[in-house]
Amino acid sequence: MKVLVAVKRVIDAYVKVRVKADRTGVETTNVKMSMNPFDEIGIEEAVRLKEAGTAAEIVAVSLGPQACQETIRTALAMGADRGILVETDAPLQPLDVAKLLKAVVEAEKPDLVILGKQAIDDDASQTGQMLAGLLGWAQGTFASRLVIDDGRATVTREVDGGLETVSLAMPIVMTTDLHLNEPRYASLPNIMKAKRKPIEVKTPDELGVTVNPRIEVLEVVEPPKRQAGVKLATAEELVARLKEEAGVI
């Protein structure tokens, strides 16, 4: 079985994001970039499938500027076999990413495509579902467990009140939730080995896709700040304030 995992380069989860003064977006110059944490979970799941003998090959795909090669290298160091970079400096929105990934999937013919449930930059949570729709495949979104058996995937999904389990005809698109697994750290020997693994570079043109953002970003601003309130000495005082001042209990 072949597994394709999409990996996105995003501002590191522990960096304090700053809005640009000209309100066009957030500051990304000289900011630490990392793999989207949900995509790390995706790579980890693929590597575990390979270790269990279920998967034979893992392909990591990233889309964006040349620097996304670093993100692919991280995936290769974690255990992916080879990488594909769809290189473009154009701003990419989920629908375009889904169309580009569809073209990659049609060329690579994987049995399982894994994406993160959302990217921690745009927080859109769309690409996996869009890709599954365009491919006409089943989708196992917000997955916390995956079992593959006899041409079907059983996916346990995190839903609002708890968990839901679905049986899906392969091939499928799966998106990872937090508790699917805990990603490993790449070991030094594996980081060295990853440098020799191949990364193929393609352009949207070569894939026959015209990037065409449908959503215009008009402005990006800082959210309104909350003011710190008062510190109280006792629970008694708190209850009195909540009752009389705030009127919430």
Partner 1 sequence: MAVLVFAEHDNTELKPATLHVVGAARALGDPDVHVLVAGEACAPVAEAAARIEGVTKVLLADDPAYAARLAENVAPLIAARARGYGHVLAAHNAVGKNVMPRAAALSDAAQVSDIIAIKAPDTFVRPIYAGNAFATVRATDAVKFVTVRTTAFDPAPAEGGSAPIEAVEGPGDAGLSRFLGQEISRTERPELTSARVVISGGRGMQSGENFRMLEAVADLLGAAVGASRAAVDAGFVPNEYQVGQTGKIVAPELYIAVGISGAIQHLAGMKDSKVIVAINKDEEAPIFQIADYGIVGDLFTVLPELKAAIERSAGEP
Interface of this chain with partner 1, residues 117 to 156, rule: CB under 8 A: 117-118, 120-134, 136-139, 141-142, 144, 154
Decide if residue 249 touches partner 1 (CB under 8 A): yes
Torsion angle in degrees (nearest 10) through CA of 103, 70, 219, 88: -40
Decide if residue 31 touches partner 1 (CB under 8 A): no
Q: Which amino acid is at 249?
A: I
**DSSP letter at 132?**
H
Nearer to partner 1, 46 or 92 (CB): 92
- Give the C-alpha separation, 229 to 227, whole Å: 6
- Give the C-alpha separation, 134 to 200, whole Å: 24
What is the H or E stretch that residue 75 is in? helix 68-78
Nearer to partner 1, 3 or 11 (CB): 11
- Give the C-alpha separation, 81 to 58, whole Å: 5
Nearer to partner 1, 178 or 201 (CB): 178
141 contacts 129 by C-beta, under 8 angstroms = yes
| Least spacing, CB of residue 189 vs partner 1, in Å | 29
Decide if residue 207 touches partner 1 (CB under 8 A): no
Determine which residue in the list 147, 159, 192, 201 makes contact with partner 1, applying CB under 8 A. 159
Decide if residue 69 touches partner 1 (CB under 8 A): no
| Least spacing, CB of residue 58 vs partner 1, in Å | 24
| Least spacing, CB of residue 230 vs partner 1, in Å | 6
Question: By rule CB under 8 A, what count of residues binds partner 1?
Answer: 80
Q: Which residue has the tokens 């003998």?
A: 53
- Give the C-alpha separation, 247 to 146, whole Å: 47
Measure the CA angle with vertex 33, ends 32 and 34; round to 5°: 125
Nearer to partner 1, 30 or 234 (CB): 234
Decide if residue 94 touches partner 1 (CB under 8 A): yes
Stretch binding partner 1 (CB under 8 A), from 62-70, 76-84, 107-115, 222-230 = 222-230
